[in-house]
Amino acid sequence: MEVSVVKAELIPKVTEETTDSNSQQGKDNGDKENKNGTNSGNKNQNQNPDVYEVDYSLQLTTFLGEVNETHTLKLVREELEDGAKVWRINWKPSMILTDMVKGSKVRVRTLFPERGDIFDREGLPLATKGNIYEWGIIPEKLGENPETMIARIAEHYKVTADIINTALAQKWVKPEYFVPIASTEDSRVPAALAGVQVQSKEIR
C-alpha cells in the first residue's frame, strides 16, 4: 500500500488543575511533591525518570482513504559508551498500524467479482459462462525443423504461418511457455503436429 501523506503530531497529556478553595490544599501538596522531583503534569508521574510516554495522532492519506489512529510513544533514555545519555524511541510496528507486529507487511490485492448468469423471463440463458478450446504452441517442442512444423500446423488449422510466427515472437514468450494462437472446436491434436497443445478456456 502506497502512502501519499504521513502526518504525525506529538500531543503530551497534561493534567488540568483546579484552583478553587477546596483544591488549594491538594495544590500545596502537589507543589511539595514537585520540589521533591515529581512532575504532576505528564504521564510519567511517579515512574522511571529514564522512561517518558507521550500520545500522538497519526494520519495516513492513502488511495484507499484516510487512516487516523492514536498511539502512545515511549521514549527511553539510554547511556552511551562515552557516558552521554540520549533519548531513543522504543519502536514497535504497531506504532504505524495498530494490528501490525514484527514481520507484518501491508499489501493491496484487487479482487474482480465473478459475473453472474443472465436469463430472460422464460428462464432461457442470455449471457452465461461456457468453455471453448484454444490451441497453441510450445516453442521448444516444435522439433528439429521448427519452420517446417509451423507450416504444417498452419495448414491444419487454416491460418497463415505469419500469424503463428508473430505470436511466437512476442516479448513474454519463452521456449517452455504455451503460446495461444486461436480457438478450435476439436480438442484432439494430430500426432504429426509436434508442439501443439489444446487447452480449455472459460468464456462468457
The pLDDT of 156-170, averaged and rounded, is 94
Residue 105 included in any domain: no
pTM: 0.40
Residues 25 and 80 in one domain: yes
pLDDT at 21: 46
pLDDT at 145: 93
pLDDT at 204: 63
pLDDT at 156: 93
- Over residues 67-118, the pLDDT tens digits come to 888 888 888 888 888 989 898 888 888 887 888 888 888 777 777 777 777 8
Residue 184 included in any domain: yes
Residues 9 and 85 in one domain: yes
**Structural domain span for residue 161:** 118-203
Residue 110 included in any domain: no
139: DSSP letter: G
Residue 150 included in any domain: yes
Residue 35 included in any domain: yes
> Cα separation of 98 and 122, whole Å?
53
- Over residues 20-60, the pLDDT tens digits come to 444 445 445 544 444 444 443 455 555 678 888 888 888 88
Mean of per-residue pLDDT scores for the chain: 77
How many domains, the chain? 2
Buried b (16+ CB within 10 A) or exposed e, 57-74: ebebeeeeeeeeeebebb
pLDDT at 23: 45
CATH number at residue 135: 3.30.1390.30
Q: Which residue has the higher pLDDT, 146 or 40?
A: 146
**Cβ contact 138:195 at 8 Å:** yes
